[in-house]
Amino acid sequence: MKNRKFIINLIYLALTPFIFIVALLLKKRRKKIIWGPIPMMNYKYHSKAIKKLNYYSETLVSNYYKIHTKNDFDKYYLDLFPSIFNKLNTRILNKIVILFGPILSFIYVIKNASILNISFYGGYLGDTILFKLEILLYKFFKIKTVVNVYGGDAFMYSKILDNSLKHALMISYPEMSIKENKIQKKINFLNRNADIIITAMLIDGIGKWSCLPVNMLCIDDKIINHHKKFKKKESVTILHAPNHTGFKGTEFIIKAIEDLIDEGYNINFYLIEKRPNREVLEKLRNEADILVEQLIYSGYSLNAIEGMASGVPVLSNLENETYTKLFRRYSFLDECPVLSTSPETIKTNLKLLIENKKLRVELGELGIKYVKKYHSEKSAQYLYGKIFNQLLNGVDEDLINMYHPLKSEYVKQNFIKTPLVNNQYLG
């Protein structure tokens, strides 16, 4: 593997003059907002939302994950090759795409982009020796870069203040512990050279952020339910859909449910792993009464947003004040109807929601309102509309205060009041 990486970097170094010359020759009109290269679903949703503001926006990614479909993204590396390449043997074609796809994607960005949305992984040459040169060439050609943190691009284990989170990451992603130096160098470089950085609640080891959303993910408005109708049934259906069980604290969820079943509670439990996203959404919309997302990391992610959008009460960890206090003071966390739950409180909170159907319904309805306000196409248009207006038109949008509860009209308007205090239910 190391020899292969070394050879690839040698090839890229040899091609550097060619890449630069092509970039100069392609210095033409650039209008598109491009998202990539990591195939994250929020890129798809953000791009779709921004298009409705009349921006030319598209996703250009390396591949797609098994839980998604090919139609989720606009372009792939393979799409940049002449059609004659499709006649090659699949194995040979894949090797060619892996080797030259990043270069063609970089050239495509130079030709077409006004703004590139990436992560701390970097751009299309982010996994090569040309990582820094790529970003500097974007600056040279006046292409703006926006960094959206997603997790694996920024977790540096020695910088994480929550030791339980550090341990959970070591359970699920042990290989990341030896990549910290490389991640730190990328973060430091992009802190200096990116135009905008959005971190959400992943802030350990991050030097700066341009604005402070609790979570910048959005979903397709078609997913949002208008009113959850809980079916009349004897049992309560609990759903948990982890990507990696150690990181999500799955073992604590299973133990709590086993204990509650032993105590006589009628529970139907779905543990969904490595299944297409559409199956999870179908279960949330049609069967789930409660969604348990994660118990270790202080925050919530896309699965929790999908749960709230479906009108299902969500349990996720929001208890560590090292992270949450910042987002209560300067962002919209106090409007969030997620019931904060840890390994120590999972059994108690499940019992609470099982016994209190009225609270389940209330949190479910508030979740729909919350998603409409902060995780819908409208919310993406608010966030990225301001960012792109500042980058493209030079307007000072006061990004650092765009979610300040005392200063932001967007936050103050239709403020969501929940029955929770610091995301805890006090009765």
Band (pLDDT 50/70/90 cuts) for residue 102 is very high
Alpha carbons 122 and 153: distance in angstroms, whole number: 9
Q: Which domains does the chain show, CATH number per domain?
A: 2-148 (no CATH), 221-376 (3.40.50.2000)
Task: Note whether 64 and 39 are within 8 A (CB).
Answer: yes
Q: Per-residue pLDDT averaged across 103-125, rounded? A: 94
Asked whether the beta carbons of 372 and 226 are under 8 A apart, the reply is no
pLDDT category of residue 106 using cuts at 50, 70 and 90: very high
Q: From CA 348, how far away is CA 256, in angstroms rounded? A: 9
Q: What is the mean pLDDT of the chain?
A: 91
Report the greatest alpha carbon distance in the chain. Answer: 72
* Average pLDDT of span 368-389: 97
**CA gap 421, 60 in Å, rounded:** 42
Strand partners, 236: 267
Q: With CA atoms as reference, report the closest residue to 250 among 229, 230, 274, 232.
A: 274
Query: Is 427 or 178 the better-scoring residue by pLDDT?
Result: 178
What's the pLDDT score for residue 373?
Answer: 97
Instruction: Report pLDDT digits (tens) over 243-257.
Output: 889 999 999 999 999
143 has a pLDDT exceeding 60: yes
Looking at residue 227, its pLDDT comes to 63
- pLDDT for position 87: 80
Q: What is the mean pLDDT of residues 69-96?
A: 89
Q: How far apart are CA 49 and CA 47, in angstroms?
A: 5
Q: Residue 268: in which H helix or E strand, if any?
A: strand 267-271
Share in percent of the chain as helix, strand, coil (round to 5): 50, 10, 40
Residue 77 predicted with pLDDT over 60: yes
261-282 pLDDT, tens digit per residue, is: 999 999 999 999 988 888 999 9
- Please state, in angstroms and rounded to a whole number, the distance separating the CA atoms of residues 402 and 200: 13
| Whether pLDDT at 23 is above 70 | no
User: Can you give the pLDDT at residue 275?
Assistant: 86
- Percent of the chain past pLDDT 90, that is, above it, reads 74
More confident residue, 141 or 257: 257
Q: 167: how many CB neighbours lie within 10 A of its CB?
A: 14
Q: Which residues contact 161 (CB under 8 A, 6 or more apart)?
A: 204, 322
pTM for this predicted structure: 0.91
What pLDDT is stored for residue 239 in this prediction? 97
| Residue 390, pLDDT above cutoff 80 | yes
The pair of structure tokens assigned to 79 is 């799409």
CA distance between the termini of the chain: 56
pLDDT band at 32 (very low <50, low <70, confident <90, very high): very high
Q: Closest Cα partner for 242 from 41, 67, 43, 31?
A: 67
Q: Which percentage of the chain shows pLDDT scores above 70?
A: 94
Confidence bin at 309 (pLDDT 50/70/90): very high
What gap in Å lies between CA 101 and CA 106, rounded to an integer? Answer: 9
Residue 403 — very low, low, confident or very high, per pLDDT cuts 50/70/90?
very high
Cα distances from 335 to residues 223, 265, 419, in angstroms, run 21, 31, 10
The b-or-e profile of 29-53 (16+ CB within 10 A means b, else e) is: ebebbbbbbbbbbbbbbbbbbbeee
> Tens digits of per-residue pLDDT, 49-72?
999 999 999 999 999 887 778 889
DSSP 3-state of 148: strand
